[in-house]
Amino acid sequence: MNPEPIVTRFAPSPTGHLHIGGARTALFCWAFARHAGPNGRFMIRIEDTDQARSSDESARGILEDLAWLGITWDDGPVLGDIGRGSRPVGPYFQAQRLDIYNRYVEHLGRLGRAYPAFETADELDAARRAAAAQKKTFKYPRPADVRPGEFNEARWRRAAAGEPHVVRFAMPPEGIRVHDSILGEVKFAPGEVDDFVIRKADGFPTYHFAVVIDDELMGVTHVLRAQEHLMNTPRHVALQQALTRTDGGAPFRTPVYAHMPLIFNMDGGKMSKRDKAKAARAALKAAMQKDPALTPALAAARAGLAESAVAEFLAGTSDAVEFAEALAGPFAVALPEVEVWDYRRSGYLPEVITNFLALLGWSPGMKSPDGKDVEKFDMEFLARHFSLERIGRGNAKFDRVKLLSFNADAIAAMTDDRFSERFQTWADEHEPEFARRWRALQAPRRSALLRLARPRCKTLRDLIRVVEFAMVADEAVAFDPAAVAKHLTPPGRDALAAFAQRLRALGPNADAAAIDAVVAAVAAERNAKLGEVAQPVRVGITGGTVSPPLGETVAAIGVASALRRIERCLQAR
């Protein structure tokens, strides 16, 4: 006898990128199915019943992000080599399943559990506003001629005649109990839920209807979703209790529900795209404050935007993400990441994202031999140990600083070769211009840079900043005026010249240790601290005060190159 199959699903609506919270939902659905081994299946369904907002492009983007995270699906849309071997329960785009939904709408109509309603959206709006004015909650009043259990011929005839209408479900008179694996039993009193719409005027099903039909027909056994869906669940359960299958008459089953806690920003607000606008606005305002010459018009020109757009953006009447993105580059604003794509672009590793996400609302509850909590693990570990019982009930705040620390740890734990591969793959996708120059470097030089950059990288993107000094031409090094003023004082210049002289004597292939010895020797002969030599040299070679240890820095660009830079620096003044 085969054990009961376990089927979970992630059902995004393709109206944008994959949100980081959605990724967690998908991850938990995936982990639960994988935990069941060969018995478990994880499915993707695209909920594109909102005609106005859905797009194939965003469906594709979401699937790509899931694949990037390592969340693979057994059933669902095919993307490259992912998602083959589907069971015959598709199609997986709801827009392609309209005939199925219509069959069930008619079915419910005949049972007297669904009826056409003819109020216009405007009428309902007005009724809602009136209710709000009296501080009452609007509930759709069931029309007097509607009697649950009786087919309403008059209404269906009007509908068939082409009169614009929606179809509503007649809620049962009794209350609804929802059994939730995380929250326990949740009760909803009779009359709490009104007769909701199951088919819109455009002929598309609503979310509530499509989800219930599809989950049944696709054999979904466990529904893991965010807690914001909890209040929808009585509708779904009522629908399940009213429906029987048209292929054989079996009653619909109610899946196991598990409503997961929500994820918020550190400030307690929702993680939303608007955060990007807020960050960009704050940064721009700060920049204008610091530099009175910076006008909205100037900022607009620098960002390639219309002046009016920038004005609106600054005034807060527009939160357009495109504006935030356009401003981020020229004004060096780090926009907060809220979608998986943002984290990808910022240089986070997928296995770190999933590890961190798994810790938001779940924990393995295990100690390692040294008594510390187990909190670093891979997807295989997650799949092996995941369970609904260990999902918490309280909401979590997303601490980007901790994520960054995890990412840095993962980079530190890699081999140099692996780091190199991961960086190149990332750069090819996100910084192709840099990637081209990086590949053009000679292999030994590249690996030298990689080695010294790695402990200084928390993200893959960080590498670009750390090795910047080595990527500019000798004659293009920009000397930071503040650094020059501080370190290229007369004694500093003198030390720099002395260093150059000894460096030249070392020959072109000197290694880091030999170069460090030169720094020490120059310091010793003038009775100076190491820093009094090292910093002027650092400025002369990199243009700034920050770089990896001098020996390695010089070795990474080569002695000849270092000498040219020093010479140019000394001549400049």
Partner RNA sequence: GGCCCCUUCGUCUAGCCCGGUCCAGGACGCCAGGUUCUCAUCCUGGUAACAGGGGUUCAAAUCCCCUAGGGGUCACCA
Subset of 363-422 contacting RNA (CB under 7 A): 363, 365, 367, 371-373, 375, 390, 392-397, 399, 401-402, 405, 408-409, 412
Stretch that binds RNA, among 6-14, 25-33, 321-329, 472-480 (CB under 7 A): 6-14
164 binds RNA (CB under 7 A): yes
Selected binder of RNA within 274, 422, 456, 502 (CB under 7 A):
456
Amino acid at 473: A
Q: Does 206 bind RNA (CB under 7 A)?
A: yes
534 in contact with RNA (CB under 7 A): yes
- Using CB under 7 A, which residues numbered 314 to 353 contact RNA? none
Residues numbered 104-143 forming contacts with RNA, rule: CB under 7 A:
119-121, 124, 128, 135, 137-138, 140
Interface with RNA, residue 202, by CB under 7 A: yes
Residue for token digits 């910084």? 431
* Residue 60 identity (one-letter amino acid): R
For residues 295 and 286, is the Cβ–Cβ distance under 8 A? Answer: no
Q: Which is nearer to RNA, 178 or 303 (CB)?
A: 178
Candidates 148-156, 341-349, 531-539, 555-563; binding stretch for RNA (CB under 7 A): 531-539
Long-range contacts of 139-143 (CB under 8 A, 24+ apart): 139/191, 139/194, 140/168, 140/194, 140/195, 140/196, 141/194, 142/170, 142/194, 142/195, 143/115, 143/117
- Give the separation between CA 508 and CA 559, rounded to whole angstroms: 5
Rounded alpha-carbon distances, angstroms, from residue 17 to 144, 223, 226 = 44, 22, 17
Indicate whether 529 belongs to the interface with RNA (CB under 7 A): yes
Residue 420 or 535: the one with the smaller Cβ distance to RNA is: 535
Distance separating alpha carbons of residues 125 and 120, to the nearest angstrom = 9
Q: Give residue for tokens 């504006």.
A: 323
Which secondary structure element, helix H or strand E, spans residue 20, and what is its range? helix 20-35
Contact positions with RNA (CB under 7 A) in 499-518: 516
- Taking the complex as a whole, the smallest distance from the CB of residue 297 to RNA amounts, in Å, to 36
What sign has the CA pseudo-torsion 63, 69, 70, 74? negative
Q: CA nearest 199: which of 161, 231, 239? A: 239
DSSP characters over 475-507: GGPPPPHHHHHHH-SHHHHHHHHHHHHHHHHH-
Footprint (CB under 7 A) of RNA, residues 27-66? 47, 49-50, 53
Candidate segments 178-186, 241-249, 432-440, 492-500, binder of RNA by CB under 7 A: 178-186
Q: Does 545 bind RNA (CB under 7 A)?
A: yes
189 binds RNA per the rule CB under 7 A: yes
Q: Which two tokens stand for residue 337?
A: 């990441």
- Check residue 13 for interaction with RNA (CB under 7 A): yes
Residue 111, Cβ neighbours under 10 Å: how many? 16
- Minimum Å gap between C-beta 298 and RNA is 31
530 binds RNA (CB under 7 A): yes
Sheet hosting strand 114-117, strand order edge to edge: 114-117, 166-169, 197-199
Quick check: 91 binds RNA (CB under 7 A)?
no
For residue 180, what are the β-bridge partners?
Answer: 184, 257
- The answer to whether residues 302 and 330 touch, using CB atoms and an 8 Å cutoff, is yes
Stretch that binds RNA, among 60-68, 200-208, 245-253, 417-425 (CB under 7 A): 200-208
- Give the interface size with RNA as a residue count (CB under 7 A): 88
Residue in 6, 7, 11, 496 binding RNA, rule: CB under 7 A: 11
Q: Which of residues 470-499 bind RNA (CB under 7 A)?
A: none
Q: Determine if 231 is a binding residue for RNA (CB under 7 A).
A: yes
Distance of closest approach, residue 361 Cβ to RNA, in angstroms? 4
Which of the ranges 11-19, 29-37, 96-104, 141-149 carries the binding residues for RNA, by CB under 7 A?
11-19
* Contact residue for RNA among 227, 241, 272, 424 (CB under 7 A): 227
Please state the closest distance from residue 194 (CB atom) to RNA, in A. Answer: 8
The full 3-state SS of 530-573, as one line of letters, equals HHHHHHHHHHHHHCCCCCCCHHHHHHHHCHHHHHHHHHHHHHCC
Q: Give the nearest distance from C-beta 327 to RNA in angstroms.
A: 26
- Minimal distance in Å, beta carbon 521 to RNA? 13
CB 92 within 8 A of CB 44: yes
Stretch that binds RNA, among 74-82, 259-267, 283-291, 488-496 (CB under 7 A): 259-267
- Residue 430 near RNA by CB under 7 A: no
The reply on whether position 465 binds RNA by CB under 7 A is no
User: In sequence order, what are the residues at sequence separation of 6 or more whose Cβ sits closer than 8 angstroms to the Cβ of residue 375?
Assistant: 355, 359, 363, 364
Among 26, 44, 242, 360, binds RNA (CB under 7 A): 360
